[in-house]
Structure 1
Amino acid sequence: MPDTAITVSKIDMYQASVPIVLRALTNLKAILGKAEAWAGERKVKEETVLNARLALDMLPLVKQIQLASDNAKGIAARLGGVDNPSYADEEKTFAELHERLQKTIDFVKSVPAAGFEGSETRDLVLKFPNLTMEFTGLAYLTGFAIPNFFFHVTTAYAILRHSGVPLGKPDFLGG
């Protein structure tokens, strides 16, 4: 059986994270704009779209966007060696979600690339109410942070597509 472990002698953690997160957040902002226009044209209530979900036991669109934002901030802060700003999760409108995404984009852009140097071996500890997770920076980025971030971005896209918003793969990937 072949060895599937990734061996990296040197990785630019800034380039492996920030451009990827910024592109996805920018695309998510554009997708949200298309959803807002679609809802307006069809006279679909804003709260109907923002509270849509793929399944009853899944979080709604608004929470998916908040969590994508939180994950993006966490990636930049933890790997960039800066404080992670806290956002209140009080968004209830398209405008407020656009503002949150822009605030997140601005924060991620503000984290200096120099702070990411050596972060691949930095020890990181994430504490949740019933769980503590320990990682090196590289394991955090590749095995937890990026997959978790894209789970929420993809779920937001899927909720909107499932709701009828005319989106396609180019919207998700941007360009």
Structure 2
Amino acid sequence: MTLSMYQASVPVFLRALHNLQHVLRKGEAHAEARKYEPSLLLQSRLTPDMLPLTRQVQIATDMAKNGCARLAGVEPLKFEDNETSFTELHARIERAIEYIKNFKADQIDGSETREITLKMRTGEQHFEGQGYLLHFVLPNLFFHCTTAYAILREAGADLGKPDFIGKP
């Protein structure tokens, strides 16, 4: 049996975003239990030259929603990147999840060779669909989800590997 582009993308993206939301809830609960302003965590970073928690979540959701759209050959839904609270980040993740759920297998399957061009700060990057999914979207999605997890874990949130991995 072969793995389709849809199976390798949509369910993986949805699980990653659900797990990210779970991790954020635990981080927010940690701040509330310690009686400090939860929004302090939103600007936390692992090192001064890394992006803060809010931006990690924004990029993770962009990777998933934009990945689906580009594999399906449609223009990605734009988000404003203006979240300033956990409530707004949760709403962003929910919007991304609902958007991703609307993609059907027949839109994404067969996209292995679809030409995808990204305009980056460093210039254009050209991909075929399968390479885009396997070598750009998935690594970036998991990098930013992992970094969000690490920021919250470093801040003292009661998180472990099962929180990141989630339930099968």
Matched, 1:52 2:44: yes
Matched, 1:121 2:113: yes
Residues 126 and 133 of structure 1 are in contact (CA less than 8 Å); yes or no, is this contact kept in structure 2?
yes
Tell me which residue corresponds to 2:125: 133
Q: When the two structures are superposed, what TM-score results if normalisation uses the length of structure 1?
A: 0.92
Structure 1 ranges of 4+ moved more than 4 A: none
Residues 39 and 86 of structure 2 are in contact (CA less than 8 Å); yes or no, is this contact kept in structure 1?
no
In the TM superposition, residue 11 of structure 1 has moved relative to its aligned partner by 4.2
- 3-state secondary structure, aligned to 1:154: helix
Residues 5 and 109 of structure 2 are in contact (CA less than 8 Å); yes or no, is this contact kept in structure 1?
yes
Superposed CA RMSD in Å reads 1.3
d(CA) in 2 for partners of 1:27, 1:152: 12
d(CA) in 2 for partners of 1:130, 1:50: 28
d(CA) in 2 for partners of 1:124, 1:35: 36
Give, as a single letter, the amino acid of the residue that structure 2 aligns with 1:69. Answer: T
Residues 125 and 133 of structure 1 are in contact (CA less than 8 Å); yes or no, is this contact kept in structure 2?
yes
Residues 63 and 141 of structure 2 are in contact (CA less than 8 Å); yes or no, is this contact kept in structure 1?
yes
Gaps of 5+ in 1: 1-9
Residues 5 and 112 of structure 2 are in contact (CA less than 8 Å); yes or no, is this contact kept in structure 1?
yes
After superposition, give the CA deviation of every residue in 1:44-67 in whole Å (9 maximum; x if it has no partner): 212211111000000000000000
Q: When the two structures are superposed, what TM-score results if normalisation uses the length of structure 2?
A: 0.96
More off after superposition, 130-139 vs 59-68: 130-139
In the TM superposition, residue 96 of structure 1 has moved relative to its aligned partner by 0.2
d(CA) in 1 for partners of 2:156, 2:33: 12
1:68-147 matches, within 5 Å, as 68-147=60-139
More off after superposition, 60-69 vs 42-51: 42-51
Aligned identity (percent) is: 49
Gaps of 5+ in 2: none
In the TM superposition, residue 30 of structure 1 has moved relative to its aligned partner by 0.8
